[in-house]
Structure 1
């Protein structure tokens, strides 16, 4: 039996108890955007530009980019996957962190699809195959001919397991070439050594080499765009150059840890297209070489699953593996 006094006491406590258990309004503190890459690169600039615009799009919010590089982009991505699903940790990643690593990294400590709630795709960047200006190869066919019949090519990449490595090796395997991989720690030195002729070719993101192609220090033999660029009409697409399977874009997206409240994911997902459509943001992305490519959460999830399958096929072709 509960006494009348006990009932009164319990009734007085209930409002306070309900108030104590009520969820806090989101966001009530800064939101981290974890980035699995070091400061200063184009992905880092993209993340910081997005953080600034999100703070405007979501009143009262602040977003802070936290760099967690290391381990073929595994370290930072794993940290995001295991963070509390409370809306205060997000991950800005790309085709490596959320597609290629699923097939390439042995004992990957996170699941790129199941451990994340997709918020939206942000942008994409095309890849290009470039050779030194002094190279005798003026087409992909001529370059391939130099790697056959006893010839041997060397190609640079921005690192073992990077997109530049996988795409270049897929070209080598499909063409049946003899070629030696020369990995670098990032794309800057790879570009420098391609310009100097130290290596025969390099598959780079287009923004990294466009100025050098325009001023004649590099020659582009193929570009992963759907059509030729008006500014460089002489540069063929990979499809036109006879290598359509090399048209593998780098893409970038935003995720939250799995089980993050759906209302928070929806609020962020709804903000992204508006931000990417802003003239100032579009101009900023264009200056960095990015093409805005927004996809809402559901479509982005389907796109990511398709990309996991595509990168699995590429990795199986090339045989590239990284220890987790």
Structure 2
């Protein structure tokens, strides 16, 4: 067993030999992976890589179904209500749907802690705080001084209630900036705005913004991961930049309706971990800017619970509430 496969097995809490056979209790109909974000978005990219890797272990096939809207809440609500709970309809969920949404929506059409059963954590993505190239600041400290002198600073986001939105709020609150969030429905629109200087800051995934930083069209002032990114090795971490509270990331994983039988969950978990143990799949995800997680049901469930607690505190501090 190679080192990556061993880590994936340990993360699931068992050795690969103890996992159920790949096709045991596997749904007989095609598995539908529902994504709450549009094609080309970060969740869509990593979700499609996983879907392709899963097809070998799912005899009936895997279909990706994009259901964007309300920071992923529409898709999550659909899976929470789907029946029968037989493993044929899964949510490829992420942090905003499964950890942030309970604190941002007064009436959410699902309860992440009650309506879903964890299958496996798949991947994570770190962010970079970027500013237009003509901004007169090359580090965060200088940017803060510059932004404080402005009557208002606009922060672009990829949607209300998403990690980039709350990252901007954390920065603004921690640094004492007067900012207004500008929420864009499409990733391309947000990138156009930051490249054109229509907004003065934005948290974007490292993979998305790195080409623009390397080309000199944007400046990156920090990355939010636990260590520097190999895509932007010269950019300091949040802790190195003096803002440890900005250490956050997006995470992605599979959940099923809560009533899904345990044997089906076990088999789906095994199929995901086998897919993520493939060097080819791991390389594709890393090349796309994601860190492979490969954590099984129990550890993924515990992580989601901890993240809901963490982000509830952040959301309360910002005072944000999504429109009904």
TM-score of the pair, normalised by structure 2: 0.88
Cα deviations across residues 276-298 of structure 1 (Å, max 9, x unaligned)?
12111012112221110111100
Contact 2:207 2:231 (8 Å CA) reproduced:
no
Point out 4+ residue stretches in structure 1 off by more than 6 angstroms.
none
Looking at CA atoms only, which structure, 1 or 2, has the larger radius of gyration? 1
What is the distance in 1 between the residues matched to 2:103 and 2:165?
14
Counterpart position of 2:88:
88
Contact 1:121 1:254 (8 Å CA) reproduced:
yes
Going from structure 1 to structure 2, the CA distance change for 1:308 and 1:48 (only over 3 Å counts) comes to: same
Counterpart position of 1:48:
48
Contact 1:187 1:204 (8 Å CA) reproduced:
no
1:289 aligns with 2:318: no
3-state SS of paired residue (2:27): coil
Going from structure 1 to structure 2, the CA distance change for 1:134 and 1:257 (only over 3 Å counts) comes to: same
1:30 aligns with 2:30: yes
Counterpart position of 1:143:
143
What is the distance in 1 between the residues matched to 2:29 and 2:231?
45
Instruction: Point out the more displaced range, 146-155 or 190-199.
Output: 146-155
Cα deviations across residues 19-69 of structure 1 (Å, max 9, x unaligned)?
xxxxx96422112111112223232232222222212124x2311112222
Deviation at 1:181, TM superposition (A): 2.1
Residue segments in structure 1 that go unaligned for 5+ positions in a row: 1-23
1:229 aligns with 2:225: no
Counterpart position of 2:15:
none
Equivalent positions of 1:293-312 (< 5 A) are: 293-312=293-312
Deviation at 1:135, TM superposition (A): 0.8
Counterpart position of 1:211:
211
Deviation at 1:182, TM superposition (A): 2.0
Contact 1:156 1:184 (8 Å CA) reproduced:
yes
Contact 1:123 1:251 (8 Å CA) reproduced:
yes
Going from structure 1 to structure 2, the CA distance change for 1:122 and 1:230 (only over 3 Å counts) comes to: closer
What is the distance in 2 between the residues matched to 1:88 and 1:140?
47
TM-score of the pair, normalised by structure 1: 0.88
Cα deviations across residues 107-150 of structure 1 (Å, max 9, x unaligned)?
11100121001001000000110011111111111111123256
Counterpart position of 2:259:
259
What is the distance in 2 between the residues matched to 1:48 and 1:79?
19
Contact 2:41 2:187 (8 Å CA) reproduced:
no
3-state SS of paired residue (1:147): helix
Equivalent positions of 1:166-185 (< 5 A) are: 166-185=166-185
What is the distance in 2 between the residues matched to 1:88 and 1:180?
42
Equivalent positions of 1:11-160 (< 5 A) are: 26-58=26-58, 60-84=59-83, 85-149=85-149, 151-160=151-160
Whose relative contact order is higher, 1 or 2, with alpha carbons under 8 Å and at least 6 apart? 2
Deviation at 1:160, TM superposition (A): 1.9
What is the distance in 2 between the residues matched to 1:144 and 1:317?
20
Residue segments in structure 2 that go unaligned for 5+ positions in a row: 1-23
Contact 1:147 1:177 (8 Å CA) reproduced:
yes
What is the distance in 2 between the residues matched to 1:230 and 1:82?
41
What is the distance in 1 between the residues matched to 2:245 and 2:69?
29
Counterpart position of 2:194:
194
